[in-house]
Amino acid sequence: MNKIQITRVGIIGGGYAGMAAAVALAERGIAVTVFESAKQLGGRARGVLHQDTQLDNGQHLLLGCYRQTLRLIEQVGGNLEHDFLRLPLQLDLHGEFSLRAPHLPAPLHLLVALLTAQGLTWRERLSAARFMLGLRRMDFRLPNDMTVAQLLAQHGQDANLAQKLWEPLCIAALNTPIHKASAQVLLNVLRDALNQSRADSDMLLPRVDFTALFPQRAANYIVQRGGKVILCCGVEALIPKDDGIELVTAQGTEPFSHVICAAPPSVAAKLLSPITQLDSTVQQIEALQHQPIYTVYLQYPAHVRLPHPMIGLHQRFSQWLFDKGRIAGQHGLLAAVISAEGIHQELPQEQLAQKVIAELREEFGIAESPDWFKVIAEKRATFTCAPNLLRPSHQTALPALLLAGDYTAGDYPATLEGAVLSGLRCAKLIPA
Ligand SMILES: Cc1cc2nc3c(=O)[nH]c(=O)nc-3n(C[C@H](O)[C@H](O)[C@H](O)COP(=O)(O)OP(=O)(O)OC[C@H]3O[C@@H](n4cnc5c(N)ncnc54)[C@H](O)[C@@H]3O)c2cc1C
């Protein structure tokens, strides 16, 4: 094999982490090759075509504070005005709870939102506002991590507040039930979303599918700068060498000075496990547990609409409903999202869809039947974001091998921003 003198980076995985790393390296003029095992880019945030209708593998939501993801989308040619429906912070649980942030600077917008929330008693509103002020005084840092349920109990947040406000927020942000979720990680998200500028708490609902939104544009950007993005080309093995790492695929073996493994945790553990120096990293990855996200898409006649682009339900199977007509002009297409573990996992998909259809009828009077429905169950959507979780660091025992992905060390739960940040950190660790 030729000795590698220049920096040549191989990236395993064309999800948001891998593509973020590739864009940052290509920007610096470094030669990158992205290997993606699937026939399309995006990984756990990808477009899915069903019956000629463009769906995603699950309805996603970005926050205004996802600065790096939004910056990269623009860098590769996206237009945030066009790509997203941007809504100011609002949480509606149909008929039960409603919170809307007024046009005031942060964090005043949140305090007023809490103090005027519908569906809470005055005592609960004051208690929620006091809790937020207390967290601000603590700079959103806990001396010791604990579960979200423990934190809520310590701060006197009663069951009604927990069920209507904090639990839906925690599940949406961490995809982990409050009795298992890390309070510190939730506070990291609240710190960034609620505490600085009002726009940070905006909710951005994509109008284009998740492959088109960033990874596909990123691929064009990389190729224009001399890089390669190879689809349907899974990496089968890594072979450490004195001067780098060789990647083995069905197409052959290629040498690289550095490799960023941005595959999902289960694949990363499998690829790394034959390399004994990486035993402790593999153990950390294997110790992670995972949480599902189910999305039920339903195509109703075009006139069927929900009262808002996004609306929650209280104590129902459907946690959040999205009206894709209002969001992206896909009239009559609704998406029901069911995050984290729960009894819905025990139902066959047909039955789960029927539950959602019944809920839509009971809550909104939608009497029609959908023309079709599609349930997409992502059984390992995210890692379980537990307190004091040891997440593998980006650097490994092999100096030429870096780890990226939403599950690697970082402040954020498994999110697009967490994935993107991990990719950018790995790119930064690679010298020119
Ligand atoms: C249904 C659902 C809803 C979600 N909702 C939200 C949300 O609203 N907001 C939010 O911020 N986050 C959300 N998330 C989380 C977010 O999608 C993930 O955190 C993020 O996409 C993870 O990106 P990643 O690059 O780390 O990993 P992945 O997306 O898993 O990317 C890894 C890539 O590696 C590829 N690969 C696997 N094996 C190999 C191999 N051997 N060789 C080469 N390539 C390989 C995979 O095909 C994949 O493309 C959601 C996730 C799901 C599943």
Any idea what the CATH number is for the domain that residue 420 is in?
Answer: 3.50.50.60
On whether residue 366 sits in a domain, the answer given is yes
On whether residue 422 sits in a domain, the answer given is yes
Q: Please choose, from the candidates 341, 267, 298, the residue with its C-alpha nearest in 3D space to the C-alpha of residue 59.
A: 298
Burial state string for 34-62 with b = 16 or more CB within 10 A and e = fewer than 16: bbbbbebbbbbbbbbeeeeebbbbbbbbb
Task: Please give the tally of structural domains in the chain.
Answer: 3
Q: How far is the CA of 351 from the centre of ligand 1 (A)?
A: 27
Pocket of ligand 1 (CB under 6 A): 12-18, 35-38, 43-45, 57-58, 60-61, 234-235, 262-264, 267, 293, 295, 378, 381-382, 405-406, 414-416, 419
Any idea what the CATH number is for the domain that residue 377 is in?
Answer: 3.90.660.20
Tokens of 398: 């092999």
Domain boundary among 183, 201, 219: 201
Give the start-end residues of each E strand in 159-305.
Answer: 203-206, 228-230, 235-241, 244-249, 252-256, 258-261, 290-299
Q: Are residues 93 and 197 in the same domain?
A: yes
Q: Which helix (H) or strand (E) holds 33?
A: strand 31-35
Q: How far is the CA of 258 from the centre of ligand 1 (A)?
A: 22
pLDDT for 5: 62
Domain boundary among 365, 383, 401: 383
- For the chain, 432 residues long, the average pLDDT of each consecutive 10-residue run is 72 98 98 97 97 95 97 98 96 96 90 95 96 95 98 96 95 96 97 90 96 98 98 98 96 97 98 98 98 98 97 96 98 97 94 98 97 97 98 97 98 98 98 86
First to last CA, the chain: 22
Q: Which residue CA neighbors atom 12 of ligand 1 most closely?
A: 415
On whether residue 2 sits in a domain, the answer given is no
Q: Are residues 264 and 348 in the same domain?
A: no
pLDDT for 1: 44
Per residue in 293-338, pLDDT tens?
Answer: 999 999 999 999 999 999 999 999 999 999 999 999 999 999 999 9
On whether residue 170 sits in a domain, the answer given is yes
Q: How far is the CA of 354 from the centre of ligand 1 (A)?
A: 28
pLDDT for 125: 97
Q: Are residues 197 and 97 in the same domain?
A: yes
Residue to probe by mutation, ligand 1, list 23, 40, 46, 60, most atoms within 8 Å of CB: 60
Structural domain range at position 148 = 89-201
Q: Are residues 233 and 281 in the same domain?
A: yes
Q: Are residues 119 and 191 in the same domain?
A: yes
pLDDT for 180: 97
Q: Are residues 181 and 112 in the same domain?
A: yes
Q: Are residues 25 and 147 in the same domain?
A: no
Helix, strand, coil shares of the chain, percent, nearest 5, are 35, 25, 40
pLDDT for 432: 79
3-state secondary structure of 299: strand
On whether residue 155 sits in a domain, the answer given is yes
